[in-house]
Structure 1
Amino acid sequence: MKRFCVRLLAIARKLLRAHKGRPVALVVLFCLSLLNLCSEWPNDIARPAFVDTLDEVLPNSFGTARQLLFDHYQRLFPRTPTAQPVTIVEIDEKTLAAIGQWPWPRNRLAGLIDAIAAQKPLAIGLDIYMPEPDQTSPDKVADNLPTGAAALAAGLRALPSHEAILAKSLRAAPTILGAAAFDHAAFTTSTDLRSAPILVHGADPLRSVQRFNYVLASLPQLQAAAHGQAMLNVALEQGVVRHIPLLMGLGGKLVPSLPIEMLRVATGSSAVDVFADPSGVQAVGVADVQVPTQPDGDIWLHFASIQSTQDRYVSARDILQGKVDPGRIRNKLVLVGLTGSGLTDMRTTALGELVPGIEIQAQVIETIFEGRFLRRPTWLKWAECAFIMAFGLLIIWYVPRTDSRLAVFMRHVPKASAVLGILLNLLILSSGIFLFKHLGLLVDAASIFIVLSAVMGCFFSTALLDEDARVEAAHAKVREDDNGRTGKASGPEVA
């Protein structure tokens, strides 16, 4: 085994020193560039089968570094809200203590919607699923009464059901019900959802967006009464929310997300516009608002710190007790959700903060209002690949040249290639930060750093091997000179 390792090391040394390290550097450049491209395959060309195989063998080869870098951009420059179009009515601990535990009877939820609607909001979005009948409804209670209480049961059945009361409130206010898409069937899931029309301009984007076959939605009676239905799904990458779909596929049709559907209802639009080309979705629009998207219909979310958004929260208890300034609700987009302990769906943002799921939806709406989008267009991915290849080939051609000043410097300072690599990549990182701050572009400086550092590392290794060879040759010459002098001193004396 030891002999095999020594032989393998000798082969590696020979390869690194062959043609001044250029062949090995070329192989490293092309292999890592291909791996980087496969980790984020552009949508404008068909995805080959070997890319899926490579993803299975080397999952998240460059993806993790890319995601951490984009998170770092946001933590350096989090979004500072300039407007507050959203108010969150939270069913919090104070509300649960005053009104009662969750889930509430549907007539009580109807009372909350009526109290919000009285303050004239533009739209009310419910981050709440109601797929099953309310078991506290009068007709359900009547079904559980003993046979001797027939008169009481008949009286209860004569009362409107809690679903009917809630449906009336939903119909009277500009309400949107939330739903969640699933890729598998469950007891309360269905295969369809009542949703507003989607008008597609250009190529059919259904193959590009994330698609599901099942949905967890509210009862058909409630869906029919609400003014809109929308998906609440967010995209998770290793447990972190970085982007959110504005558009998804359910079976064979397109359905909008909650932020887009709320804008549609608030503006009185009859449909959502989708602009697409063969590479995928380019933008999603409502009325005169167009939101640029990734080809899969997602948008990268530029997060604001939760400390800067606390003013948007209003307790549902205060709404029901009439203690809230009407200006907090009037002409606002109102989201209703759970924040009470043990009830809320907590999510981790790119800033590393744990926030209620309803906060994610609010930040999407806020970002659309401000028009400050993070973008990673397909052309940027190709530009990064071109830069890596061009600069990598320049390094491979120039660095090993014996007649260049750089080569002379590197021969005298073997660690020079490492220093130059660090300086180069610091310049690339600074450029990425600049483009993020001023243009909202997500430049993958991490992949550029990894690939070009590996290429420079090939010449760093070659320089170290050359230095070792020079040192070994110098030691050998010293030993030879010492042996020569020793031989002369001990030889026979000639008369």
Structure 2
Amino acid sequence: MKRLSAAWVTFFRKLLKAGQGRPVALAVLFGLSLLNLYSEWPGGIARPQFFDRFDDFVPDPFNSARQLLFDHYQRRFPRVPTSQPVLIVAIDDKTLAAVGQWPWPRNKLANLVDAIAAQKPLAIGLDIYMPEADQTSPDKVADNLPASAAELAAGLRALPSHETILADALRAAPSVLGAAAVDHAAFDTSTDLRSAPILVHGVDPINMVKRYNYVLASLPELQAAAHGQAMLNVALEQGTVRRIPLVLGLGEKLVPCMPIEMLRVVTQSAAVDVYADAAGMQSVGVADVQVPTQPDGDIWLHFASIRSTQLRYVSARDVLQGQVDPARFRNKLVLVGLTGTGLTDMRTTALGELVPGIEIQAQIIETIFEGRFLRRPVWLKWAESVFVLAFGLLIIWYIPHTDSRLAALVRAVPQATAMLGVVLNLLLLAACLLLFKFVGLLVDAASIFIILSAVTGCFFTTALLDTAQTLRDALRSRPTKRPAPEVPPPAQPVRQPEPPTAAIAKRQPTAPRDGADQLPR
């Protein structure tokens, strides 16, 4: 087993060192570049069919890294609202406590629509769909009465239904009803929606946008009364809302989203304009407003923090009781939605905040009014790919040169390649942040970082192998010195004790010579 492992290690060492590491680096560069294109194939060129076979079992690390990077852009530079074109009438907890639990009888909802319409807003969008009949309507109550109450039942059937009351309110106001496109059929779904026409300029993008076969919409009577119908769908990626479709496909026709349809109602336009070419959708227009889109009809939404948008919320209870200043409705697009506990459809934004679904619709309208769009055009993906290939080939050509200063630095300090890669990628990230802040471009620095780091890592690994080999060779070539045998120290002679007489003799004073110790005369 050890021999087999050693053989594999030797094989990989030779593979990495072959051709000064260039063949392996080239394979890494082109292989990862292909995976990056597979992760996000740009429009304009047909996607190779063999990519379709990999969708179920090939991991997609580039997409996850790309989304996290784009979220970092937004969290670093969130949008700061400069206008407040939207007012949200929230059916919140205190409204439910005052009016009653949801769902309300349709006549109560009609009262709310009438109260809003009395303040003369530009348009009213209901983030609500009502596919079933109101069971509290007089005719439905009459059906449940016993035969003995025939006279009472006849009187109830003579009253207008709650749907009729709500339809009258919707007809009298510049109203837009919401709907939700779904993939599967259910008891209350349908295959069509009464919506305004969409005029396509160029290539029909029906096969490029997100398509659904069924829709959860309001009753036909209510659809006929409202001035517009719109989709409320958002695009979820790993549980986070980053992109919102402005146009969806329902069967074989295109239908608009809520913000676009409300703009159409406000401008009293007969249709929504869609501009597309072979690469996909380019933009969606209403009157003189034109919104650039991705090829599939989505837009990247530049989110503002929910803390900066709280002033646009008013309670539906206060509206019903006439406690809201009429000036707050003037020249505003009003959205009606549920925010009560347990009722609202909460969504996570790219800022990491949990917000009501109605807030996302409001931010789309706000972004369109301000004209501050995030863009990732088709050409940007091709530009990123060309940059990665060009810079990667430059690295592969230059680093292995033995006569270059960088090669000498790598040989002296193997970590220099990694340090250089980190510095270059930090500069790249800084440039991408500036492009996001000032131009609104979403540059995929994450994929560039992953690919170029892997390429430079090939030479870093080769440099480490060379250093390890040099150390091993140096250890092998060093002469081996045998230690000299230890020689015991010479034995010290043992001193014999002196006899007592000799010791006493040594202590006797020396006799004076020549009478030197005698006193002078």
What TM-score, normalized to structure 2? 0.92
Q: Distance in 2 between matches of 1:184 and 1:6?
A: 56
Alignment correspondent of 1:347: 347
Alignment correspondent of 1:108: 108
Which residue identity is paired with 2:275? F
Alignment correspondent of 1:492: none
Cα deviations across residues 323-365 of structure 1 (Å, max 9, x unaligned)? 0011111211000000000000000000000000000000000
Alignment correspondent of 2:163: 163
Equivalent residues in 2 for 1:52-451, closer than 5 Å? 52-451=52-451
Match of 1:482 among 463, 480, 483: 480
Rg comparison, structure with higher value: 2
Cα deviations across residues 375-426 of structure 1 (Å, max 9, x unaligned)? 0001000000000000000000000100101111110001100000100110
Which residue identity is paired with 1:234? V
Q: 1:38, 1:55 within 8 Å by CA — same for their partners in 2?
A: no
Alignment correspondent of 1:470: 470
How far is the alpha carbon of 1:277 from its aligned partner? 0.3
Q: Aligned Cα RMSD in Å? A: 1.1
SS at match of 2:451: helix
Which residue identity is paired with 1:389? L
SS at match of 1:62: helix
Q: Distance in 2 between matches of 1:295 and 1:250?
A: 17
Q: Distance in 1 between matches of 2:327 and 2:303?
A: 25
Alignment correspondent of 1:461: 461
Q: Distance in 2 between matches of 1:71 and 1:355?
A: 16
Alignment correspondent of 2:519: none
How far is the alpha carbon of 1:54 from its aligned partner? 2.5
How far is the alpha carbon of 1:59 from its aligned partner? 3.2
How far is the alpha carbon of 1:32 from its aligned partner? 0.4
Which residue identity is paired with 1:482? T
Unaligned runs of 5+ in 1: 488-495
How far is the alpha carbon of 1:2 from its aligned partner? 3.5
How far is the alpha carbon of 1:486 from its aligned partner? 8.8
Q: Distance in 1 between matches of 2:2 and 2:263?
A: 69
Alignment correspondent of 1:490: none
SS at match of 2:290: strand
**Within the alignment, does 1:36 sit opposite 2:36 as a pair?**
yes
How far is the alpha carbon of 1:141 from its aligned partner? 0.1
SS at match of 2:56: helix
Q: Distance in 2 between matches of 1:270 and 1:284?
A: 14
Identity %: 75
Alignment correspondent of 2:505: none
Q: 1:35, 1:61 within 8 Å by CA — same for their partners in 2?
A: no
Equivalenced residues, count: 484
Q: Distance in 2 between matches of 1:206 and 1:10?
A: 56
Q: Distance in 2 between matches of 1:128 and 1:138?
A: 22
Q: Distance in 2 between matches of 1:117 and 1:6?
A: 81
Which residue identity is paired with 2:227? H
Q: Distance in 1 between matches of 2:60 and 2:337?
A: 34
Q: Distance in 2 between matches of 1:224 and 1:275?
A: 28
Q: Distance in 2 between matches of 1:365 and 1:63?
A: 27
Q: 1:428, 1:445 within 8 Å by CA — same for their partners in 2?
A: yes
Q: Distance in 2 between matches of 1:55 and 1:473?
A: 48
How far is the alpha carbon of 1:187 from its aligned partner? 1.1
Q: Distance in 1 between matches of 2:29 and 2:483?
A: 52
Which residue identity is paired with 1:239? G
How far is the alpha carbon of 1:473 from its aligned partner? 1.1
Q: Distance in 1 between matches of 2:454 and 2:337?
A: 49
Q: Distance in 2 between matches of 1:304 and 1:99?
A: 32
Q: Distance in 2 between matches of 1:414 and 1:104?
A: 71
Which residue identity is paired with 2:261? E
Cα deviations across residues 50-73 of structure 1 (Å, max 9, x unaligned)? 212223222322100000000000
How far is the alpha carbon of 1:482 from its aligned partner? 2.5
Which residue identity is paired with 1:315? S
Q: Distance in 2 between matches of 1:86 and 1:3?
A: 72
How far is the alpha carbon of 1:47 from its aligned partner? 1.4
Cα deviations across residues 56-97 of structure 1 (Å, max 9, x unaligned)? 222322100000000000000000000000000000001000
Q: Distance in 2 between matches of 1:44 and 1:4?
A: 49
Q: 1:39, 1:55 within 8 Å by CA — same for their partners in 2?
A: no
SS at match of 1:475: helix
Alignment correspondent of 2:23: 23
Which residue identity is paired with 2:480? D
SS at match of 2:456: helix
Cα deviations across residues 86-117 of structure 1 (Å, max 9, x unaligned)? 00000000100000000000000000000000
Which residue identity is paired with 1:415? Q
Which residue identity is paired with 1:81? P
Which residue identity is paired with 1:209? V
Q: Distance in 1 between matches of 2:168 and 2:454?
A: 65
